[in-house]
Amino acid sequence: MKFGKNLKKHKVPEWTEAYVDYNGLKKILQEIRNFRRNKPNTVGDSPKRLSMFREFSALTRHDDNLKNQVDIENPVISVHTVQQENSRKLYNTKLLLSPEEGESEENERIFFEKLDNELNKTNDFYKDKVEEVMKEAALLKRQLEALVALRIKVTNQSCVAPSKIKSPVRSDTVDTVTDQENIDEQNRSHIDILDRIKISKTFDSPISTIKGVLKDSRGNGLSYNKEELKEVEEKLKVAFVEFYQKLSHLKSYSFMNLSAFLKILKKYEKITSRRVASLYMKIVDNSYLGSSDEVISLMERVEAVFIKNFLNSNRREGMKLLRPKQKIEKHRVTFLSGFFSGCSISLLVAVILLIEDRKLMHKKGATSYMYTIFPLYSFYTYIVLHMLVYAANIYFWRRYKINYPFIFGFKQGTELGYRDIFLLSNCLAVAALATFLVHLHVKMDSKSQHYETYVELLPLGLIIVLVAITFCPFNIIYRSSRFFLIKCGLRCVCAPLYKVTLPDFFLADQFTSQVQAIRSFEYYICFYGGGKFSRRLSNCNSHDVYNVFYFVVAVIPYWFRFLQCVRRLLEERDIAHAYNGLRYFGTVVAVVIRTAYELRKGTLWKVLALVSSVIATIANTYWDIFVDWGLLQRKSKNPFLRDKLLVSHKNVYFAAMVLDVVLRFAWLQVVLTFDVHSLQGKTIATIFSCLEILRRGLWNFFRLENEHLNNVGKYRAFKSMPLPFTYYDNEDDDDDDDGVIDKDD
């Protein structure tokens, strides 16, 4: 693999602009190559001289000392170092050429000027990040000391004599000391820490939220029980793992940039035949980027502390947590995806041919049957289509280097790829189409009417299997992803009792595009709870309870988002969440009015539904494009877009805005009552529901692109993990600390 592709592959996506602009430097080298080719007689560039240089370099290739000596005796460049007031260095390179060469080699000066800028940029960025992690290391050290003190306190309360307790921290620094009084004194010094700390409450669960509303929780004391200790250990354990990942990314950042400087200098030597690599790389190696070893040493200390304090010195298990394996794409997933997609297409063709062969759309009894049974299977249509759209989203997120696992907070190595989602969607499509085909064949074939009772249970059995797989506790069929989905769904249902994170409101937005699927689920309950099949044909729509819930289920997703906006407004005090909440509340009103019109008809209801739907549609469209996508910026260097774009073709953004407007206004189809010849009302509603799902898929890509660019702009590549302890004293006690986690901790 070429180095340019390897560098792009190993970049931290949010730090892309902080890396060496390798491609930009290569473009300058290409200009130098083209210029020298057009001027073969330029001093020092004749083909004869180049061939002599290659022969000489081949003879002396084995002697590195001779190369260095040549560079020193006949330097081509001179690098000056300027010390700044903030103890940082700036590097400035001058090209030492003869007057004749100086006039013709302006591109080489530009090359070294840019090379210096890249070295200064990477050097400053790396130093800033190292200073951040050193401060974070000091903070984690204090948190660990508090954890050890809490362990001792809990152990003392478990009917164990204090004199028999050996401190789990700094135990190896005691060496061979066996004096029991010294050990007791050490334990007491750790317990004294508990007088200055309290448990940090983030109100991220329903119980903590309710308690926070009922009383002031700022002064939460310690209860010194095992449950509290376990909760603290889990939080601090996650914080250490996340901190180690940050150190790993910094180590990779340093290595990849150093390699980039070496590679680009080698290319310069190859094009110009000027020996500069060894001299310039000495400067790079002596810079903070090349000489600092704080990150590597800190990684070693974190490994030792983490393994000792959280894994009982089990290094193998500890390193599995600190260095999780990358997810590997499996060939069998690709094979099965193709196999089941072929099966689903074949079954779909078979269903269409069966309907045409039996003339089901032209027989009165068959039409009534299709009208009744269609909502049972349209539920799977919505789910499968949404999964296929999500698979396409993942594909394009990866293509354009959008770090969706970090944005969603997926555990490393457990995120699903687009092939996995495509496989699951096709498996569900095959199951749904197969049962639908059997259902049609049995109902329309007089010879198999005695199987009718069993066939009616096929849709219900399929949905039971689907729910069972979703909640299956065993480690099969992507358990971590299923549980992550269940957790986010629960947080949506319990809004505003949970702290709102991006996956929560992102999933709630997906629910707003699945109103018809939720209504189909309601239809399942009515259909299978309505007695015999003959009484089900017209039972649901005429039932008052069904009509009431027909209102409720349409409002639920928007109500979830409204409550999430209220929670974020109370926590973040950002007025934008108030506007967003009003937007969703307006949508709730529009949905209620249009549902009333759908059930009751009438001119007044139609006018109210039309006005409320148009207002909600305009507000939602504006918010999509301007806020969620970040487009239509007035002072952007890309007119009507934004400054940073990941898709190179700008027309894609304009086409997306137009599609969003068109598909948003397609939401008005219930009010405007589009009548299409040969299509039943349920079919029209299904088509427009599918269009809404496609619009949501379009929204998903640009929404996450905007979120990714916001993280890039602030170099946010890691989650902010809540720490369990808060110190009462506000003064910085780390001034007398070395800011380093000790191995003996």
- Local structure of 92: helix, strand or coil: strand
Q: How confident is the model at residue 459 (pLDDT cuts 50, 70, 90)?
A: confident
Q: How confident is the model at residue 258 (pLDDT cuts 50, 70, 90)?
A: very high
Task: Note the pLDDT of residue 97.
Answer: 67
pLDDT at 104 exceeding the cut of 60: no
Task: Note the pLDDT of residue 357.
Answer: 77
Task: Note the pLDDT of residue 168.
Answer: 45
Residue 471 within any structural domain of the chain: yes
Mark residue 224 as left, alpha or beta (left: phi above 0; alpha: psi -120 to 50; beta: remaining).
left
Task: Note the pLDDT of residue 729.
Answer: 56
Residue 46 within any structural domain of the chain: no
**Neighbour-count burial for 599-625, b at 16+ CB within 10 Å, e otherwise:** eeeeeebbebbbebbeebbebbbebbb
Give me Rg for the CA atoms of the chain.
Answer: 33
pLDDT at 692 exceeding the cut of 70: yes
CA gap 204, 208 in Å, rounded: 7
Domain limits at 545? 331-714
Contacts of 585 by beta carbon, 8 Å cutoff, 6+ apart? 562
**Tokens 């390179």 appear where?**
93
pLDDT at 75 exceeding the cut of 50: yes
Residue 226 within any structural domain of the chain: no
Task: Note the pLDDT of residue 60.
Answer: 42
Q: How confident is the model at residue 158 (pLDDT cuts 50, 70, 90)?
A: low
Residue 528 within any structural domain of the chain: yes
Q: pLDDT tens for residues 578-604? A: 999 999 999 999 888 888 887 777 788
Task: Note the pLDDT of residue 564.
Answer: 94
Task: Note the pLDDT of residue 420.
Answer: 93
Q: pLDDT tens for residues 119-155? A: 999 999 999 999 999 999 999 998 888 888 888 878 7
pLDDT at 92 exceeding the cut of 90: no
**Neighbour-count burial for 279-294, b at 16+ CB within 10 Å, e otherwise:** bbbebbeebbbbebeb
Mean of the per-residue pLDDT values of the chain: 79
Task: Note the pLDDT of residue 320.
Answer: 86
| Angle (nearest 5°) at CA 527 between 525 and 528 | 70
From the list 401, 379, 404, 375, the residue with the least C-alpha distance to 390 is 404
Per-residue CA distances from 35 to 29, 98, 104, 271, 515 (Å): 10, 18, 9, 11, 63
Quote the tokens at residue 255.
């290595």
Residue 137 within any structural domain of the chain: no
SS (H, E, C) 394-457: HHHHHHCCCCHHHHHCCCCCCCCCHHHHHHHHHHHHHHHHHHHHHHHHHHHCHHHHHHHHHHCC
Say if CB 550 and CB 594 are below 8 A apart: no
Task: Note the pLDDT of residue 221.
Answer: 62
CA gap 190, 152 in Å, rounded: 8
Number of folded domains that form the chain:
1
Per-residue CA distances from 521 to 69, 90, 379, 465, 482 (Å): 80, 65, 7, 14, 20
Task: Note the pLDDT of residue 260.
Answer: 92
Quote the tokens at residue 423.
């496989």
Residue 176 within any structural domain of the chain: no
For residue 724, cis peptide bond before it (omega within 30 degrees of 0): no
Q: How confident is the model at residue 228 (pLDDT cuts 50, 70, 90)?
A: confident
Residue 384 within any structural domain of the chain: yes
Task: Note the pLDDT of residue 442.
Answer: 78
Q: pLDDT tens for residues 410-434? A: 887 788 999 999 999 999 999 999 9
Residue 166 within any structural domain of the chain: no
